[in-house]
Amino acid sequence: MARAAVLGRLTWRVATVVAARDEGEVARTLVLDVPGWTGHAPGQHVDLRLTAEDGYSAQRSYSIASAPVDGRLELTVQRVADGEVSPYLVEVALPGDSFEVRGPIGGYFVWRGGDPSPVLLIAGGSGIVPLMAMIRTRSANGSRVPFRLLYSTRSPATAIYADELAGADPGLQVAYAYTRHAPPDSPRPPGRLDGALLAEAGWPAELAPACYVCGPTGFVEAMADLLVNQGHAADRIRTERFGGTT
């Protein structure tokens, strides 16, 4: 068994926004310059802290969207109706603004590039974000590990990273489950990601793929149950639930 890494003290670092771009109708990506950042493993997250002039501060966790690069990281934040941190990041933050981040954090929901097993990624809504970090890392490293992504989203307008996923290399196969509105050329009518689509677009359990499931809690519970019912071993399924609404 691998020995545990003794981690350095977790320190807050200043992150400065250097670019921002909208991702479909539902999210925004912030590109951050973080001096002293020495990369991360795909799937890890950061804690982000905003502090007001009066000293009041609010802290939330966000998955890292980018492949590891020294000094730089990207966060994709979902537009939400209320909250203390996300509305600022989505609606207000502009290049030149800064706040604090600490990380990278979390060693469980992580893809290690040294594992040659095929990879099955299952995303619900903005659960795509840490999975995109895995896809981008695979691409950046020239990895030939075959990936399949099943992405559940309400409609084409709510899909994050759609253009980048459409241009992916043949080693990444992408299937969408549109839950409300499917585009005219969709092979399936609108509906939830079900066992039939999982069997068709996922990997057979005999290949023992590494499975990563991320999304709202109810979605993740349903997908983990489907995987187990189709014969996938529980210890091959890693999950990250971010609460929220389905």
Partner 1 sequence: MTDTWVDGNELAGPLREIFAVDVTVAHGQCVHCGHRCTLAEVRVYSRAPGLVARCPSCEAVLLRVVRSPARVWLDLTGLAYLEFAAP
Contacts with partner 1, residue ranges (CB under 8 A): 1-7, 10, 45, 47, 61, 102-103, 105-109, 216-218, 220, 238-246
DSSP string covering 97-125: -EEEEEEEE-SSS---TT--S-EEEEEEG
**Quick one: 102 or 236, whose CB is closer to partner 1?**
102
CB of 46 to partner 1, least distance (A): 8
- Residues contacting 135, CB < 8 A, separation 6+: 121, 147, 149, 165, 168, 172
Return the closest-CA partner of residue 121 out of 189, 243, 215: 215
CB of 136 to partner 1, least distance (A): 20
CB of 102 to partner 1, least distance (A): 7
Report yes or no: 103 and 79 within 8 Å, Cβ to Cβ: no
**Quick one: 151 or 242, whose CB is closer to partner 1?**
242
**Quick one: 1 or 166, whose CB is closer to partner 1?**
1
CB of 104 to partner 1, least distance (A): 9
User: What's the rounded Cα separation, in Å, for the pair 58 and 67?
Assistant: 27
User: What's the rounded Cα separation, in Å, for the pair 69 and 58?
Assistant: 27
Return the closest-CA partner of residue 92 out of 28, 26, 25, 161: 28
CB of 162 to partner 1, least distance (A): 26
**Quick one: 124 or 209, whose CB is closer to partner 1?**
124
**Quick one: 103 or 118, whose CB is closer to partner 1?**
103
